[in-house]
């Protein structure tokens, strides 16, 4: 990533993104290991808030997958429509650990 990424630009993109990958895409870059590492370093250097970023290891539920497929016209469109659930949010869904009924 070139040096033209300023604190203001990174803060703006971070506020609108939910992950490093989303931020990289918003910056016009393809996410990869080296770019994530560089971006993390710059975010730390500029003290940009990323506390709202979702944690890794998120899970898709059947309902979320179906919603994404229904809202798109292609596989790529379905991927763009997916929302990730963090493990804590997924734990309260009806499909967590193959649960058949919602948690009381």
- 0.75 surpassed by pTM: no
Residue 101 pLDDT > 80: no
Residue whose C-alpha is closest to residue 10's, from 55, 40, 33, 54? 40
Distance CA 32, CA 86 (A): 21
Q: Which residue has the higher pLDDT, 72 or 95?
A: 72
Could you tell me the pLDDT band of residue 11, with boundaries at 50, 70 and 90? Answer: very high
Q: What is the reported pLDDT for 41?
A: 93
pLDDT for the residue 32: 85
Least confident range of 3-7, 27-31, 95-99: 95-99
């Amino acid at each position: 990533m070139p040096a033209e990424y300023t604190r203001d630009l990174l803060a703006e993109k971070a506020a609108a993104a939910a992950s490093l990958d989303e931020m990289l895409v918003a910056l016009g870059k393809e996410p990869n290991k080296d770019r994530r590492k560089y971006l993390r370093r710059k975010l730390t250097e500029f003290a940009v808030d990323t506390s709202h970023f979702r944690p890794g290891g998120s899970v898709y539920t059947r309902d979320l997958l179906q919603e994404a497929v229904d809202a798109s016209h292609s596989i790529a469109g379905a991927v763009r429509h997916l929302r990730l659930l963090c493990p804590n949010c997924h734990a309260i869904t009806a499909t967590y650990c193959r649960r058949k009924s919602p948690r009381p």
